């Protein structure tokens, strides 16, 4: 939730989860569910009015059967756009405890890419509330990935090798972890990986496995992992891996983001492993900026992601 969102939430009488202790926020969300976003201008109709080039993007909602139950996904495609020849499975963030397919980080980003000829499958996943922890949300992302890859031609108009995977924040954690799991299982990897302001280490601000459980970041990582043992698992936190065998990867980091060290350290790891890795630093941006369509840094980041996707061979 951005500072603007927090003010609007206060006006709407909703809790500001940024200011709540992490255990309290988790308990509240588990009991009440995620409240409606108070912003009046982020629904699809408002986005199309603000960004007319999105008008041609069509969507189809689907359900993928995962090992823990149904996984909601949404397909985006613009029939009038020049096909880019590649497509993206995209996973939103939300600190592993929130987020959904209608948030701008999912819906707006997917529409912007689809309008550029890049079809998108946006994925929702089980939140780490109550007894749900890793690998449940990771399993959901893998189920959606395999579903999209197995029918890439029919669903998205591309061959399986031209399907890429990506995510933002917690979604980037899940996307990077999914690549590690696919590689370790000997399954085909995505044609590329997009990580926007990723958390790929248990301690993102320090880019390390040494966790400060008194910090909100540490508490959220442990809540995702579910155990101290999982905190050391590179399939959960890909920053702990040596990076071998990763596909071409774009990592977007923000100038003003305490998690920036995690993304930059992972880029260095991938480079040492011989991977094709690019880092895009968004000047002036803060964590979560692509969830705010009015933020000029958000449009720049989406354009950078699109340019990188379009350049894939």
Q: Which two tokens stand for residue 293?
A: 């369509």
What's the pLDDT at 3? Answer: 38
What's the pLDDT at 46? Answer: 97
What's the pLDDT at 14? Answer: 55
What's the pLDDT at 18? Answer: 66
What's the pLDDT at 6? Answer: 40
Pairing relationship of beta strands 69-78 and 87-91 according to DSSP bridges: unpaired
| CA-based nearest residue to 195, from 251, 256, 255, 259 | 251
Whether the per-residue pLDDT at 74 is higher than 50: the answer is yes
| CA-based nearest residue to 303, from 109, 81, 163 | 109
Q: What percentage of the chain reaches a pLDDT higher than 70? A: 94
pTM of the model: 0.94
Q: Band of the pLDDT at 312, cuts 50, 70, 90?
A: confident
> Phi, psi (5° rounding) for residue 91?
-125, 120
How many whole angstroms separate alpha carbon 218 and alpha carbon 175? 20
Q: Which two tokens stand for residue 240?
A: 């702990």
What's the pLDDT at 1? Answer: 38
The mean pLDDT of 182-200, rounded to a whole number, is 98
The mean pLDDT of 255-264, rounded to a whole number, is 97
Domains and CATH numbers, the chain: 56-311 (3.40.50.1820)
**pLDDT tens digit sequence for 38-64:** 899 999 999 999 999 999 999 999 999
**pLDDT tens digit sequence for 170-189:** 999 999 999 999 999 999 99
């Amino acid at each position: 939730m951005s500072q603007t969102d927090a003010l609007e939430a206060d006006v709407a009488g909703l809790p500001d989860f940024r200011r709540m202790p992490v255990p309290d926020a988790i308990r509240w969300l588990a009991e009440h569910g995620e409240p409606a976003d108070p912003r009046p201008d982020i629904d699809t109709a408002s986005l199309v009015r603000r960004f007319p080039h999105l008008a041609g993007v069509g969507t189809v909602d689907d359900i993928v059967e995962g090992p823990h139950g149904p996984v909601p996904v949404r397909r985006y495609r613009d029939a009038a756009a020049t096909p880019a020849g590649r497509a993206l499975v995209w996973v939103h963030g939300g600190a592993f405890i929130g987020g959904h397919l209608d948030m701008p980080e999912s819906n707006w980003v997917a529409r912007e890419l689809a309008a550029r000829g890049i079809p998108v499958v946006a994925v929702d996943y089980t939140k780490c509330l109550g007894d749900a922890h890793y690998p449940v949300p990771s399993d959901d992302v893998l189920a959606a990935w395999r579903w999209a890859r197995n029918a890439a031609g029919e669903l998205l108009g591309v061959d399986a090798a031209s399907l890429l995977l990506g995510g933002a924040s917690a979604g980037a954690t899940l996307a990077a972890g999914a690549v590690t799991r696919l590689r370790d299982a000997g399954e085909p990897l995505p044609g590329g990986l997009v990580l926007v302001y990723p958390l790929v280490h248990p301690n993102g601000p320090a880019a390390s496995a040494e966790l400060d459980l008194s910090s909100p970041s540490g508490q959220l990582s442990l809540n995702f992992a579910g155990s101290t043992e999982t905190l050391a698992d590179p399939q959960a936190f890909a920053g702990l891996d040596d990076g071998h065998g990763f596909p071409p990867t774009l990592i977007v980091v923000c100038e003003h983001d305490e998690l920036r060290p995690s993304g930059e350290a992972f880029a260095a790891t991938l480079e040492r492993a011989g991977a094709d890795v690019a880092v895009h630093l968004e000047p002036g941006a803060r964590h979560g900026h692509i969830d705010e369509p009015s933020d000029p840094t958000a449009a720049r980041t989406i354009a950078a992601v699109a340019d990188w996707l379009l350049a894939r061979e």
